[in-house]
């Protein structure tokens, strides 16, 4: 059986493929995804909408894992999420908290500064 930490590592690695269907397979049907600067969403349809916001405009995505740790079903990550959006390289420091049950993500909370994202993605 895959550990919670292994599940999250595989999930983060999968972002580089930008395949939302693949990413959604990591979640239970009623999972909660909360980007802390925004309202939380529940369920795969809503999670798809949020993922599309970040993935569709990006030519490439990479989640660089700086640190991770697990305690039971809870996994903590410190990441640098890297996006190439047009001619802009966007580097977003993120701390994530995942809850994993039975090899599937039930809850995902990402903590980041929205101003850091906006400054790097806003049109000049």
Catalytic one of 19, 52, 81, 113: 81
Grade residue 121 by pLDDT with cuts at 50, 70 and 90. Answer: confident
| Whether the predicted pLDDT of 122 surpasses 90 | no
End-to-end CA distance of the chain: 48
Catalytic one of 87, 91, 110, 113: 110
Q: Note the pLDDT of residue 124.
A: 52
Average pLDDT, the chain: 95
What structural domains does the chain harbor?
Answer: 4-117 (3.10.450.50)
> Is 110 labeled as catalytic in the residue annotation?
yes
Count Cβ neighbours within 10 Å for each residue of 63-98 and write b for 16 or more, e otherwise.
beeeebebeeeebebebebbbebeeeebebebebbb
pTM of this prediction exceeds 0.85: yes
Grade residue 2 by pLDDT with cuts at 50, 70 and 90. Answer: confident
Q: Note the pLDDT of residue 123.
A: 67
Report the distance separating Cα 113 and Cα 120, nearest Å.
12
How many other CB atoms are there within 10 angstroms of residue 123's CB atom?
Answer: 5
Grade residue 37 by pLDDT with cuts at 50, 70 and 90. Answer: confident
Q: Is the pLDDT higher at 121 or at 84?
A: 84
């Amino acid at each position: 059986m895959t550990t919670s930490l292994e599940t999250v590592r595989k999930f983060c690695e999968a972002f580089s493929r930008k395949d939302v269907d693949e990413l959604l397979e990591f979640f239970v049907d009623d999972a909660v995804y909360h980007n802390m600067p925004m309202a939380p969403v529940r369920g795969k349809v809503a999670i798809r909408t949020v993922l599309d916001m970040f993935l569709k405009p990006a030519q490439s995505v990479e989640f660089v894992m700086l640190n991770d740790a697990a305690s039971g079903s809870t996994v903590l990550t410190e990441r640098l999420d890297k996006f190439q959006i047009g001619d802009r390289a966007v580097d977003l420091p993120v701390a994530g908290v995942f809850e994993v049950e039975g090899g599937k993500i039930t809850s995902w909370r990402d903590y980041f500064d929205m101003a850091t994202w906006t400054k790097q993605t806003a049109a000049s």
